[in-house]
Amino acid sequence: MDSVVHFELPFEDQARAEKFYQDVFGWKTMSMPGMGYVMAYSAEVDEQHMTKESGRINGGMFQRQEPFKGPVIILNVEDLDAKLEQVASHGGQIIRGKQAVGDMGWAAYVNDPENNLIGVWQSMKK
């Protein structure tokens, strides 16, 4: 079963978004230089940035742009290529195909048949 492992929140104003989630929900944020991305920690993490508590997830924030108009959930899969084929064969649409994310893994974005944007993630085997 593929599970939700990450979330993403688009923003118009990075400083305002970070302050809101820090002040209201107690989250910690960390800008990722050169990536245009801010890590959003809603759970405590260990040295490898993995959540300390089972069942908790963290996420990220980035400048709002098409097609990222609202929050996105990210699902972890074993084989991203196979999953993208399944998405297409079951009425979904590939919005942004497979892209490497540093040395961490690969990401893609799809719409389900109800036009909900979903991220799909495959970790690199280490």
- What confidence score (pLDDT) does residue 34 get? 86
Residue 78 sits at φ, ψ, to 5 deg, of -75, -40
As a whole-number percent, the residues of the chain with pLDDT over 70 amount to 99
Q: Cα–Cα distance between 42 and 56 in angstroms, integer? A: 8
State the pLDDT confidence band at 33, using cuts at 50, 70 and 90.
confident
* Contact call for residues 56 and 43 (beta carbons, < 8 A): yes
Q: What is the pTM of this model?
A: 0.85
State the pLDDT confidence band at 48, using cuts at 50, 70 and 90.
confident
| pLDDT above 90: residue 54 | no
**Average pLDDT rounded to a whole number, residues 37-49:** 89
Measure CA 117 to chain center: 11
> Within the chain, which residue ranges are assigned CATH 3.10.180.10?
8-65, 77-126
Residue range 8-65 in CATH 3.10.180.10: yes
The 10s digit of each residue's pLDDT in 78-90 is: 999 999 999 999 9
Residue range 77-126 in CATH 3.10.180.10: yes
